[in-house]
């Protein structure tokens, strides 16, 4: 189903003041209709590892963007995950003024929808992905489809919808980065925080699996012939835990430890999972060097260490460009009577990938939601319309700053 753009007056005949009033009051928003449109995006199992469901969501979004005359290109990454979509109003463009990002997947496994589907009470809607981030996905589409024609003509916009954000965009990350590197601004429509804040910064993270292979020996008869994997592991824990620095926000956590077989055996195997969070990408680079050094120079002679970095997202923090973008968003909110507040958050998103490239990036431009990744996930109903209007007005105001 295609929804007709809801701009009530032809904008071109108006003075600037009338124009800004026209774009700020969208009389045609209908919550029931919105939720009806949201339903097929929620009531489909589309966890990252359910590519068929992600593909169905991609089909729905393709139809929507094609319905407003945009070109949609489908990208396959890996058969384990669903497709990605790139929708654009300027198929010939070599660069984009604005890149919008929204992921198609959720964290919920197959079978979830049969037990838990879209529902609502007076204040909130509930359901898998209702805030993270199907409503953000729908808000992006609606904001775009309601742009005044001259604004849409002036801007080259692309919307990238990826299938694997919830597993760290391990398949789509390079694709997103390559498009971001030829975009002026990146807007990510993950949900606004529960207090309404937008997201200006996200911590970086890295996760490692470390395995230690030593040599078993009888702990009573000939302990001197053993090489204790657990002793080396303990050396790693005590050494690296000293690197935690709450002040600058670098924290290390050994979250899993396994190893050994019996009290009277020198353990020949141990493993651990190390999780690092950081604000400062340089401090992480320093730590990575230290870890490499520990790998190459073990404290015990003869021990073998295997290190696998299983996930990595750089931190993104505001630069000069994103501070200008923040000011524009604040001003846009002010003109609508919406007080814009900001949060720097610990969890990652695709904003980490684009923001760390230095491309001005703001996240949290979806409606307000919370309890993500749990069966209590919710979407605040009366935030849908103002956040949709905010996103649309930000696009309009950005179009005025862009000169060629
Ligand atoms: Zn998300």
CATH of the domain at 251: 3.30.70.360
pLDDT below 50 — which residues of the chain? 1-25
The β-bridge relationship of strands 204-213 and 304-313 is: antiparallel
- Does one domain contain both 291 and 325? no
- Predicted local distance difference test score (pLDDT) of residue 11: 36
Total structural domains within the chain: 2
What CATH number has the domain bearing residue 39?
A: 3.40.630.10
Structural domain boundaries, residue 301: 204-313
Question: Ligand 1: distance of its center to the CA of 133 in Å?
Answer: 5
Whole-number Å distance, alpha carbon 166 to ligand 1 midpoint, is 7
278 assigned to some structural domain? yes
Indicate if 266 and 159 belong to the same structural domain: no
Contact residues for 25 (Cβ-Cβ < 8 A; gap 6+): 8
Question: Considering the domain boundaries, does residue 80 fall inside one?
Answer: yes
Same domain membership, residue 130 and residue 271: no
Distance 284 CA to ligand 1 centre (A): 24
Residue 339 and residue 386 in one domain: yes
Give me the pLDDT at residue 3, please: 37
CB contact at 8 A, 335 and 400: no
356: nearest Cα among 325, 327, 322: 322
Distance 124 CA to ligand 1 centre (A): 18
Residue for token digits 């696998």? 308
pLDDT at 266: 98
Within a domain: residue 94? yes
My answer on whether 24 and 137 are in the same domain is: yes
Residue that finishes a domain, picked among 276, 293, 313: 313
* 391 CA to centre of ligand 1 in angstroms: 17
Task: Say whether both 81 and 199 belong to one domain.
Answer: yes
Which residues lie closer than 8 Å to 10 by C-beta, 6 or more apart? Answer: none
Final residue of a domain: which of 293, 313, 333? 313
Q: Please tell me the distance between residue 349's alpha carbon and the centre of ligand 1 in angstroms.
A: 7
101 vs 83: CA distance, rounded Å: 14
CA of 324 to the centre of ligand 1 (A): 25
* pLDDT at res. 6: 39
**Structural domain contains residue 6:** no
What's the CA gap between 295 and 240, in Å, rounded? 12
Domain-embedded: residue 4: no
Q: What is the pLDDT of residue 38?
A: 98
Domain assignment present for residue 1? The answer is: no
Q: Are residues 54 and 150 in the same domain?
A: yes
User: What separation in Å is there between the alpha carbon of 112 and the centre of ligand 1?
Assistant: 17
Are 195 and 249 in a shared domain?
A: no
Q: What spacing in Å lies between the alpha carbon of 91 and ligand 1's midpoint?
A: 27
In a domain, 5, yes or no: no
**389 and 342 in one domain?**
yes
Task: Give a yes or no: residue 218 inside a domain.
Answer: yes
For residues 329 and 367, membership in a common domain is answered with yes
Question: Residue 90 C-alpha to ligand 1 middle, in angstroms?
Answer: 26
Q: Which residue has tokens 């949609």?
A: 72
d(C-alpha 50, C-alpha 111), whole Å = 10
Q: What is the pLDDT of residue 348?
A: 87
pLDDT at 9: 35
Of 255, 278, 313, the last residue of a domain is: 313
> What's the rounded Cα separation, in Å, for the pair 394 and 200?
15
Same domain, 176 and 80: yes
pLDDT computed for residue 346 by the predictor:
87
Say what the pLDDT of residue 7 is.
Answer: 37
> 335 and 307 in one domain?
no
């Amino acid at each position: 189903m295609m929804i007709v753009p809801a701009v009530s007056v032809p904008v071109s005949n108006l003075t600037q003041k009338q124009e800004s009033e026209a774009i700020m009051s969208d009389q045609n928003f209908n919550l029931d209709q919105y939720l009806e449109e949201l339903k097929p995006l929620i009531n489909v199992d589309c966890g990252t590892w359910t590519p068929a469901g992600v593909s169905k969501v991609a089909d729905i979004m393709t139809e929507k963007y094609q319905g407003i005359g945009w070109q949609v290109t489908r990208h396959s990454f890996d058969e384990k995950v669903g497709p990605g979509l790139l929708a654009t109003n300027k198929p010939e463009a070599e660069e984009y003024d604005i890149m919008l990002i929204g992921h198609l997947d959720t964290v919920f496994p197959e079978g979830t929808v049969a037990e838990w589907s879209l529902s609502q009470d007076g204040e909130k809607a509930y359901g898998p992905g209702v805030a993270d981030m199907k409503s953000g996905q729908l808000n992006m589409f609606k904001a775009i489809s309601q742009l005044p024609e001259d604004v849409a003509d002036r801007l080259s916009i692309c919307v990238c919808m990826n299938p694997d954000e919830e597993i760290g965009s391990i398949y789509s990350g390079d694709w997103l980065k390559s498009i971001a590197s030829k975009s002026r601004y990146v807007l990510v429509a993950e949900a606004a925080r529960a207090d309404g804040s937008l997201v200006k910064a996200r911590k970086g993270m890295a996760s490692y699996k470390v395995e230690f292979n030593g040599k078993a020996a009888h702990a009573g008869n000939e302990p001197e012939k053993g090489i204790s994997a657990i002793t080396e592991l303990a050396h790693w824990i005590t050494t690296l835990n000293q690197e935690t620095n709450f002040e600058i926000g670098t924290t290390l956590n050994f979250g899993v430890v396994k190893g050994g077989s019996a009290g009277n055996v020198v353990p020949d195997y141990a493993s651990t999972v190390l999780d690092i969070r950081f604000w400062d990408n340089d401090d992480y680079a320093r730590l990575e060097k230290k870890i490499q050094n520990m790998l190459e120079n073990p404290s015990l002679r003869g021990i073998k260490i295997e290190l696998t970095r299983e996930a990595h997202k750089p931190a993104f923090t505001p630069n000069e460009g994103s501070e200008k973008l923040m000011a524009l968003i604040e001003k846009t909110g002010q003109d609508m009577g919406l007080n814009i507040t900001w949060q720097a958050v610990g969890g990652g998103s695709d904003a980490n990938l684009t923001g760390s490239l230095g491309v001005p990036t703001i996240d949290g431009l979806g409606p307000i939601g919370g309890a993500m990744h749990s069966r209590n996930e919710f979407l605040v109903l009366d935030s849908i319309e103002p956040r949709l209007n905010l996103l649309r007005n930000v696009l309009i105001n950005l179009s005025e700053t862009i000169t060629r």
